[in-house]
Amino acid sequence: MPEIHTLTVAEVVTETPDAHSVVFELTPEQAEAFRYRPGQFLTLKVGTAARCYSLSSAPHEGSRLKVTVKRTDGGYGSNWICDNIRAGARVEVLAPAGVFTPKDLDENLLLFAGGSGITPVMSILKTALRQGNGRITLLYANRDERSVIFAGELAALSREFAGRLTVLHWLESVQGLPTVEQLRTLAQPFAEFEAFLCGPAPFMAAAKQALKDFGLPKNRIHLEKFVSLGGDPFATQAPAPESGETTALRVDLDGTQHEFTWPRQRKLLDFLLDKGLDAPYSCREGQCSACACRIVSGEVKMLDNEILDSEDIADGIVLACQSVPLTDAVSVTYE
């Protein structure tokens, strides 16, 4: 059962007519549990459901955490937050999670954001500018000028870091939807950069194809994808029944190798947490990628998967929260 925290809303900022930022003020006692890396997300208890929202704040900005939420048609979570959350509200939240984060802040970065996909990208951008020394190019696509979240902040950062930051705006109302060919032309000058993509699925698919077309290696293309959580990670989870069959498990986590005897009916994440390992996770429903790891040898079965694509699976990536062993030995690494 993940540890549940209750945070107090300090303020709600109207970013655009359809987007609101919810700012949480941490107490000194909460600060350690909410240490985070740029690009990570929070899981919020939203009415009767749970939703994952990326942090648009940056770690160096202090004790205030900010998530930015854009209304979507029929979106239960986004509309509930925009209509109901006010300063002083208390919200149940899980600790930060996610792997959509640069390993090296000194890298040159090519950032693609579509609509509210700017949220984790903004956290990465601000952190890399303040704490790294690489060049950063942001391609930011929106429906129209009124839809541009953080327009003023991006303009100010472009002036302050004129030698390092380039912001390219793409407006559907002016230029139409971007094609693979157009994105490839825009991205080509930055073919050696590390790429991070977040936005609507068609936009990310086009941007990913554009990058692949000019040969950017797959391990330098990072995507952030979310779907609405079907389960409730805030609810108590009943332990799964266990059989007598086991698998020899080898795990490489944070540079340390561990060996265990893994019960065949036990999900990998649950087992590692029971063993005291600090394995990453968030939703535990197979609907985010926070618990993703790579199978080095052996084979597992994923009971559910709504986030990994066929290329991820072909590369051996699995969701630890949904994986049970199929072979007598399995080796896993967290990259």
Identity of residue 169: H
- Taken in order of first residue, the domains within the chain and their CATH numbers are 4-97 (2.40.30.10), 109-224 (3.40.50.80), 246-333 (3.10.20.30)
| 169-222 pLDDT per residue, tens | 999 999 999 999 999 999 999 989 999 999 999 999 999 999 999 899 988 999
Token pair listed for 227: 């779907």
Burial category of 197 from C-beta neighbours within 10 Å (exposed 0-12, middle 13-18, buried 19 and up) = buried
Q: Contact at 8 Å (CB) between 297 and 330?
A: yes
Q: Contact at 8 Å (CB) between 332 and 249?
A: yes
| 267-292 pLDDT per residue, tens | 999 999 999 998 988 778 887 888 99
Q: What band does 264 get if pLDDT is binned at 50, 70 and 90? A: very high
Report the pLDDT value the prediction gives residue 76, as an integer from 0 to 100: 86
Q: Contact at 8 Å (CB) between 47 and 37?
A: no
| 140-169 pLDDT per residue, tens | 999 999 999 999 999 999 999 999 999 999
How is 259-323 classified by DSSP, letter by letter?
EEEEETTS-HHHHHHHTT-----S-SSSSSSTTEEEEEES-EEES--SS--HHHHHTTEEEGGGE
Q: Contact at 8 Å (CB) between 19 and 56?
A: no
Token pair listed for 305: 């998967």
Q: How far apart are CA 22 and CA 2, in angstroms?
A: 22
User: What is the pTM for the complete model shown?
Assistant: 0.84
Q: Are strands 221-224 and 256-263 parallel, antiparallel or unpaired?
A: unpaired
